[in-house]
Amino acid sequence: MAGRGPTPKDPSKRRRRNVDPTPTTVVVTDGEVRGPELPDTVDWPEQTRRWWNTWRTSPQAQSMTPTDWDFLLDTALLHAELWSGVASVAPELRLRVGKLGATPEDRQRLRMQIIEPGDAPPPSSRPGRYSHLKVVSEQDD
């Protein structure tokens, strides 16, 4: 099975608490439809049409560039082949959607966190070394 090594460990469970060199991208779900429609030149299976619309309204679509949409369109062709019975495209399809953050594991590897509107965003930095200490004011003698 192809992959890129183990999934990164949850930062709160790490022994070493060094600052993560790659920041996490936080994306707020907005439900807006982005990206192009599927071209009419292909007879798309209904599953692929639903899949494409899921990507168009996904939080990941907020950061997609025109080249990302082209990549996703090529991936949609593989998705259509899979639903047409060509099982040999499944590994390539899995790798391609993983690059765009399809699963929670993919988003963790990409350092992408999706939050719902109204949810508090995660803290921008981890608690400091002395965060458990409290400030004590001097008492007048």
pLDDT tens digits, 83-113: 999 889 999 999 999 999 999 999 989 888 8
Q: Rounded CA gap, 112 and 98, in Å? A: 12
Reported as a single tens digit per residue, the pLDDT across 16-53 is: 767 767 778 888 888 899 999 999 999 999 999 999 99
- pLDDT surpasses 70 at 54: yes
Domain boundary assignment for the chain: 44-118
Task: Label residue 5 by pLDDT band (50, 70, 90).
Answer: confident
Q: Rounded CA gap, 102 and 112, in Å? A: 11
pTM across the whole model: 0.70
CB atoms within 10 A of CB 66: 9
Mapping DSSP onto H, E and C, the string for the chain reads CCCCCCCCCCHHHCCCCCCCCCCCEEEECCCCCCCCCCCCCCCCCHHHHHHHHHHHCCHHHHHCCHHHHHHHHHHHHHHHHHHCCCHHHHHHHHHHHHHCCCCHHHHHHCCEEEECCCCCCCCCCCCCCCCCCCCCCCCCC
Task: Label residue 132 by pLDDT band (50, 70, 90).
Answer: low
Mapping DSSP onto H, E and C, the string for 19-46 reads CCCCCCEEEECCCCCCCCCCCCCCCCCH
